[in-house]
Amino acid sequence: MDQKKDEKLKRTNRTTILFNQREKEAINLYCEKYKIRNKSKFIREAILTEVLQRFDKDYPTLFEFEKPNLFYIK
């Protein structure tokens, strides 16, 4: 991959998520049980998995001509 594409894939956008105490404890227990050390990566992958699965489920629609592709770089 050339440097221009690397720059486009660089994570520079921040999103904040708030959890209640029970949600936070559930995530912590899950991460401990499955030896997940990088919670940011885990949560990011879980969210993107849901998003991509929903895109696949909803495709095709009558008015959508191009399938969303988060990994296509213009």
Q: What pLDDT, in 10s, does the model give residues 23-44? A: 999 999 999 999 999 999 999 9
More confident residue, 69 or 42: 42
For residue 35, the 8-state DSSP code is T
* pTM of the full structure: 0.67
> How many CB atoms are closer than 10 A to CB 28?
13
CA distance 68 to 57: 12
Whole-number pLDDT of residue 68: 60
The larger pLDDT score, comparing residue 52 to residue 29, is at 29
Within 13 Å and on the Cβ side, how many CA atoms surround 57?
A: 6
> 67: which residues sit within 8 A by CB, 6+ positions away?
55, 59, 60
Residue bearing tokens 């009558």: 62
